[in-house]
Amino acid sequence: MLNAHLHYPSCLIDGVFTQTDNGLRFYETVGFTQKVIQTAQETIRKRLLGLFVRRDLLSSDESERMQSWETAADFPCMPGLE
């Protein structure tokens, strides 16, 4: 691969919408702490790197090196929440 840049554009909201008699109503999600977000980022990073290794897109050594990165800002797929 020449300079592959794999990404998944997404739009995430911090809540849910429901249909009411007066239209849509938005219910904001509560409880998203920095720790919850960090845990989700770590889980996603681990699973993506494992997938890339299984598909021979990364070596095990590269994956281990990327897993050792301490902040989300070091990992291009995870925007930093510092």
Which structure tokens are listed for 6? 């794999």
pLDDT at residue 1 tops 70 = no
Q: How far is it, in rounded angstroms, from Cα 43 to Cα 48?
A: 9
List pLDDT tens digits, range 15-38: 889 999 999 999 988 887 888 878
Amino acid at 14: D
Domain locations along the chain: 32-82
pLDDT at 72: 53
pLDDT at 18: 94
Q: How far is it, in rounded angstroms, from Cα 77 to Cα 48?
A: 9
pLDDT at 68: 84
List pLDDT tens digits, range 46-75: 999 999 999 999 999 999 988 887 765 555
